[in-house]
Amino acid sequence: MIKERIAWPNGAKCACCISFDMDADSILHLTKPNDGFRYVSAISGLQYGPYVAIPRIIDSYKSLNIKQTFFIPAWCVENYPKTVELILESGHEIGVHGYMHENLLDHTLDGERQILEKVMNIFQNYFGYAPKGFRAPLYNFTNNSGELLVEYGFDYDSSLMGDDMPYIITPKNGEIIELPTHWGMDDGPQFVQPFIYTGRPTRSPTSGFEIFKQEFFAAYKYGSLWLPVFHPYASGRLARWDVISSFLEELVSKGDVWFATLGEIATYVRHQIKIGNYHPLKIKVPQYSQ
Ligand SMILES: [Zn+2]
């Protein structure tokens, strides 16, 4: 089923990283710059992420003894510094996710560069180092993103969907490791309600999580990467996190599943490629020039 296998560390059957995109209320203010502050109830639901869900998730990770990755818009770093501090103090990784969760497809090369420049300065000021991982808000990696990520020294991206396994993307100025995921691994379609109620039904915690379990069992069977994309305000809710964290306990107790940050996975994959043990797909980005 998978042509190019990789030997995961210590004989693990697959690699796992729950990636949380802590968007909080950034996108509300981006889309409603003049009156976003009036949406008190919507903001309360989105702030549940940094205030309630993240401390809960960090506690679970601590008891499971695993380190994972969080992608955070820099606006949230400025507005929720204590939450960000908690994530970092606990040894987890933080990656770039725009300034205010911008749709990068709405921006030119210069506009995208300005956003990245601003974000890198904020990360440098708050953390004292440059982040190594990137996920485009809404997965909207553009025809310019790859080149910019190489220019700013990123190790890996996690916005694309081109394989089940880690692969390499080659913008014209270099190479980056791609840690792919896909919409079936995103909690949005299962659990997220937009700011205004639309009548869209919400899944129960167990039925909504079933899709992620099936994805895990395939990753375990075929030796790939299990990379769910969750949002603290959605999957960090009490009943959902109860279901998810119980499943994580099962996985950790198996003893043959490798939980790591995406940064660690990218470093490992890069090394396996270098020593000739892994020969992943290489995909040029952008795929087309016009
Ligand atoms: Zn996001």
Alpha carbon distance, N-terminus to C-terminus of the chain:
33
The yes-or-no verdict on residue 175 having pLDDT over 80 is: yes
Residue 2 lies inside a defined structural domain of this protein: no
| Residue 196: per-residue pLDDT | 64
- In a domain, residue 1? The reply is no
Domain assignment of residue 4, yes or no: no
Which two structure tokens, joined as six digits, stand for 71?
A: 């992608």
The pLDDT of residue 25: 96
Between the CA of 58 and the centroid of ligand 1 the distance, in Å, is: 19
The alpha carbon of 3 and the centre of ligand 1 are apart by a number of angstroms equal to 31
- Domain enclosing residue 17, as ranges: 9-284
Determine the 3-state secondary structure of 187 from DSSP: coil
Is 250 inside any structural domain?
yes
Percent of the chain with pLDDT over 90: 96
Q: Output phi, psi for 282, to 5 deg.
A: -120, 120
Specify if 94 maps to a domain: yes
Output the CA 47–ligand 1 centroid distance in Å: 14
Residue 280 falls inside a structural domain:
yes
**193 alpha carbon to ligand 1 midpoint, in Å?**
14
pLDDT higher than 80, residue 263: yes
Cis bond before residue 286 (omega within 30° of 0): yes
Residue range 202-227: mean pLDDT, rounded: 97
Ligand 1 centroid–CA 160 distance in Å is 14
The pLDDT confidence band at residue 198, using thresholds 50, 70 and 90, is low
Say what the pLDDT of residue 202 is: 86
Whether 201 has a pLDDT exceeding 90, the answer reads no
pLDDT tens digits, one per residue of 47-101: 999 999 999 999 999 999 999 999 999 999 999 999 999 999 999 999 999 999 9
Confidence of residue 252 (pLDDT cuts 50, 70, 90): very high
115-168 pLDDT, tens digit per residue, is 999 999 999 999 999 999 999 999 999 999 999 999 999 999 999 999 999 999
Q: So what's the pLDDT on residue 200? A: 77
Gap from CA of 139 to ligand 1 centroid (Å): 8
Burial bucket for residue 196 (CB in 10 Å: 0-12, 13-18, 19+) = exposed
Confidence band, pLDDT 50/70/90 cuts, at residue 195? low
Cα–ligand 1 centroid distance for 101 (angstroms): 6
Q: State the distance from the centre of ligand 1 to the C-alpha of 165, rounded, in angstroms.
A: 22
Gap from CA of 48 to ligand 1 centroid (Å): 15
Q: 31 CA to middle of ligand 1, Å?
A: 13
How remote is the CA of residue 89 from the centroid of ligand 1, in Å?
22
What is the Å distance from ligand 1's center to 26 Cα?
9
Q: What is the DSSP letter of 31?
A: H
Task: List, as one string, the DSSP characters of 65-111.
Answer: T---EEEE-HHHHHH-HHHHHHHHHTT-EEEE--SS---GGGS-HHH
- CATH number for the domain spanning 118: value is 3.20.20.370
CA of 23 relative to ligand 1 center, distance in Å: 5
Range list of H helices, the chain? 26-31, 40-48, 54-64, 74-79, 81-89, 109-127, 145-151, 188-191, 205-222, 232-235, 238-254, 262-274
Nearest Cα neighbor of 212 from 3, 19, 9 is: 19
Q: In the prediction, which pLDDT does 197 show? A: 65
Residues flanking ion ligand 1, Cβ below 5 Å:
21, 23, 137
Number of domains in the chain: 1
In a domain, 74, yes or no: yes
Confirm whether 289 is domain-assigned.
Answer: no
pLDDT for res 20:
98
**Per-residue confidence (pLDDT) for residue 27, from 0 to 100:** 93
